[in-house]
C-alpha cells in the first residue's frame, strides 16, 4: 500500500501524487491532516483551507482505496512528548524563515508512516526541502518505507498548484507566475555561464517589480544537501520563496 500524506484542500497537484502512487502499490491511501506543529505562531494554521467533502469527492474520483482523516488528538494524544529534528538541511531556505517548521513536518510524517505502515510514501517536489528532509529522516531512523518524489504539477501559466493559491486576489494571481518565469530564466542564464550572484539579485528584483512584497530567498543549492552554491554543478536546484499580500509561495526547478 502507498501513502500520499496531505493537508487537504486537494488540487491537481495532489491528484498527480495519487496517480503516481498507483505505479507503486495496488492500493493508495491518502491522509488529510492540517498539522498544527508545522505552523508558526503567526502563520496560517487557523485560516488554512479545510474542505473535507470536496476532498473526499476528489479522492473517490481518483480511485484511492481509503482516506485517513485523523483528529489532532489521534495524531498527538495526551502525553505526546516526542519531536523529530533533522539537522543541517532544515536550517537553510524555508527553515531559516519558519523556525520549527521542519521539526513539525518530520514529527508528523514519522508518526503517519508508523501509524499507516505503507511500503511507499509519495511527496511532491513542490516542497523540495521537505522531500529531502523526509528522505534523510527515513534513512536515519530506518523507517521501512520507500520515499518517492513526484515532479511539480503546474497551471497553464506555470504557477505551481498549491492550496495557498486560494488566498490570492485576482491581481496577486496575475503576478504569481513570475516565480516560475524567473526560475526558468535564471536556470538558463546559469547554464549559459552568467555570473550567479548577479542572476539571483536580478531575479529577486524582477519578482518585487512584478508585485511581490518580499523575497525570502532565491538561491542556487546542491540538490541533496541544499547547501548554497556560488557556482553551477550538476544536480543543482534553484529554489525560491516569496510573499505577496498575506500569502507565501514557494517554487523550485532543477538546473
Ligand atoms: P500539502 O497538502 O500542501 O501539504 O501537500 C501534500 C503533498 O502534495 C506534498 O508532498 C506536496 O509537496 C505535494 N504537492 C503540493 N502541491 C503540489 C504540486 N503542485 N505538484 C506536485 N506535488 C504537490
Euclidean distance between CA atoms 67 and 139, whole angstroms: 26
Residue nearest to atom 22 of ligand 1 (CA): 124
Ligand 1 atom closest to Cα of 154? 19
SS3 67: strand
Average pLDDT over residues 135-153: 98
Q: What is the pLDDT of residues 149-207, one digit of tens each?
A: 999 999 999 999 999 999 999 999 999 999 999 999 999 999 999 999 999 999 999 99
* Residue 21: predicted pLDDT: 98
* Residue 79: predicted pLDDT: 98
SS3 43: coil
* Residue 77: predicted pLDDT: 98
Task: Give phi and psi for 146, each to the nearest 5.
Answer: -85, 130
| Mutation pick for ligand 1 pocket among 68, 124, 138 (CB with most ligand atoms within 8 Å) | 124
- β-strands 146-150, 66-68 pairing: unpaired
Q: What is the pLDDT of residues 216-240, one digit of tens each?
A: 999 999 999 999 999 999 999 999 9
Q: How many CB atoms lie within 10 A of CB 30?
A: 28
* Residue 47: predicted pLDDT: 96
The cell numbers describing 173, all together, are 494571481
* Residue 252: predicted pLDDT: 99
* Residue 126: predicted pLDDT: 98
Q: How many CB atoms lie within 10 A of CB 209?
A: 10
Residue nearest to atom 7 of ligand 1 (CA): 6
Ligand 1 atom closest to Cα of 152? 20
SS3 1: coil
* Residue 32: predicted pLDDT: 98
pTM of this prediction? 0.98
* Residue 207: predicted pLDDT: 98
Q: At what angle do helices 128-140 and 101-116 cross, to 10 degrees?
A: 60
Task: Give phi and psi for 121, each to the nearest 5.
Answer: -135, 140
Mean pLDDT over the full length of the chain: 98
Q: How far apart are the first and last CA of the chain?
A: 33
* Residue 185: predicted pLDDT: 98
Q: What is the pLDDT of residues 57-112, one digit of tens each?
A: 999 999 999 999 999 999 999 999 999 999 999 999 999 999 999 999 999 999 99
Query: Ligand 1: which residues within 6 Å by Cβ?
Result: 6-7, 13-14, 16-17, 123-124, 126-127, 150, 152-153, 160-163
Average pLDDT over residues 46-64: 98
* Residue 168: predicted pLDDT: 98
Euclidean distance between CA atoms 51 and 29, whole angstroms: 18
Which residues have a catalytic role annotated?
14
Distance in Å, CA 13 to ligand 1 centroid: 6
Distance in Å, CA 237 to ligand 1 centroid: 18
Amino acid at each position: 500500500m502507498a501513502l500520499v500524506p496531505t493537508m487537504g484542500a486537494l488540487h491537481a497537484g495532489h491528484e498527480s501524487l495519487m496517480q503516481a502512487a498507483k505505479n507503486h502499490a495496488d492500493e493508495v491511501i491518502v491522509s488529510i491532516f492540517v498539522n498544527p506543529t508545522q505552523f508558526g505562531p503567526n502563520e496560517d494554521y487557523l485560516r488554512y483551507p479545510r474542505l473535507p467533502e470536496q476532498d473526499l469527492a476528489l479522492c473517490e474520483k481518483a480511485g484511492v482505496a481509503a482516506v485517513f482523516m485523523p483528529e489532532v488528538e489521534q495524531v498527538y494524544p495526551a502525553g505526546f512528548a516526542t519531536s523529530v529534528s533533522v539537522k543541517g538541511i532544515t536550517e537553510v531556505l524555508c527553515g531559516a524563515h519558519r523556525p520549527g517548521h521542519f521539526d513539525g513536518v518530520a514529527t508528523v510524517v514519522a508518526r503517519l508512516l508508523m501509524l499507516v505502515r505503507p511500503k511507499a510514501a509519495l511527496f511532491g517536489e513542490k516542497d523540495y526541502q521537505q522531500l529531502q528532509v523526509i528522505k534523510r529522516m527515513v534513512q536515519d531512523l530506518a523507517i521501512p518505507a520507500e520515499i518517492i518524489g513526484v515532479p511539480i504539477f503546474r497551471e497553464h501559466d506555470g504557477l505551481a498548484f498549491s492550496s495557498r493559491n486560494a488566498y490570492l486576489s485576482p491581481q496577486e494571481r496575475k503576478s504569481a507566475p513570475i516565480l516560475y518565469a524567473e526560475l526558468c530564466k535564471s536556470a538558463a542564464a546559469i547554464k549559459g555561464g552568467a555570473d550567479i550572484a548577479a542572476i539571483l539579485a536580478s531575479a529577486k528584483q524582477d519578482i518585487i517589480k512584478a508585485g511581490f512584497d518580499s523575497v525570502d530567498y532565491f538561491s542556487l543549492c546542491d540538490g541533496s544537501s541544499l547547501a548554497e552554491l556560488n557556482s553551477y554543478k550538476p544536480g543543482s536546484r534553484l529554489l525560491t520563496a516569496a510573499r505577496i499580500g498575506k500569502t507565501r509561495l514557494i517554487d523550485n526547478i532543477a538546473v
